[in-house]
Amino acid sequence: MKVLVLGNAHRAGVSEAAGRLLPFLRQHCDIVAVDLLQEMDLTPLSADLTLVLGGDGAILRAARQMGYRQTPVLGINLGRLGFLADLSPEELCACFPRVRGCDYRITEHLMFECEVEGPGGRRTFLGLNEVAVQGGPPFHILEMDLIINGEPVCTYSGDGLIVSTPIGSTAHSLSAGGPILGQELPAFVITPLCPHTLTNRPLVDSADHVYAIVLRRGTPTTSLIIDGQEDLPFTVQHRVTIRKAPVTFKLVKVPGRSYYQTLHDKLHWGAQPKYRIEPSSPSERSSG
């Protein structure tokens, strides 16, 4: 098995974990390359599996770094939440013989292309989580038009707007009141940030459609943020177009790790509230 090892050495614990894991991995597979600084051109490299050390942010960077040649990713969680990177280094060592024997499932997930047009020309970005328009100081209400397949659909007034993939639906979009989508759905969710009207609610629509956002009114520091990592100025002279990418993100799922289990373990989704039981009579209250 040929393996790429990626990660973010600027995060605490990543270099140390790589130092412990690499000798083990070299005994069980062929390591094609190690890049903990996220600076290599991965295009000419061929591998069966990419191990990403870090958290979900490291996986987002790795997905963009692999570009249009996506290799299945197995994430090793060295961060806090680890929604995508859900194996610890110890669990990786325990299950790696099964991984080497291809005893795992690969799930494929929607990625997007974000095309930004403005006075500086046109740029295209590949992403996995979401595209967000957010204002900065001075903090005034933003006004944005949403256009789907060339048809003006809605004008949003508020603090911003998020266009998210199913993978990104459990990130910024969820905290803004958006729904949780099944990770393999071919759909986008559009979630307004603090909309100034009760009629603006999240919208789920097909990934086969093309979405455009035009800013009607912004602030000098309004930004377009891609996957929480690329931060671009966004003005009334810009237009952003979001569409399904021609490649998918491939995530390795080892046996015993389901999406709903991850929702329950990481986000406590579906858990019952822990009510305090009050004594039912004066005698019970005094005896308690």
Active-site positions read: 56
Q: At what angle do helices 89-100 and 14-28 cross, to 10 degrees?
A: 20
What is the Cα–Cα distance from 157 to 145, expressed in whole angstroms?
9
What is the Cα–Cα distance from 89 to 142, expressed in whole angstroms?
44
Q: Is 276 exposed, middle or buried (0-12, 13-18, 19+ CB in 10 A)?
A: exposed
Chain-centre distance of CA 72, in angstroms? 16
Question: Could you tell me which residues come within 8 angstroms of residue 119 by beta carbon, excluding any fewer than 6 positions away?
Answer: 237, 238
Give backbone dihedrals phi and psi of 143, rounded to 5 degrees, phi first.
-125, 125
Chain-centre distance of CA 95, in angstroms? 25
What is the Cα–Cα distance from 222 to 218, expressed in whole angstroms?
6
**Count of C-beta atoms within a 10 Å radius of residue 103:** 11
3-state helix, strand, coil in the chain (%, to 5): 20, 40, 40
Query: Tokens 């974990």 label which residue?
Result: 17
Distances (CA, A) of 273 to 179, 264, 270, 276: 20, 13, 9, 10
Give backbone dihedrals phi and psi of 32, rounded to 5 degrees, phi first.
-75, -45
What is the Cα–Cα distance from 217 to 88, expressed in whole angstroms?
46
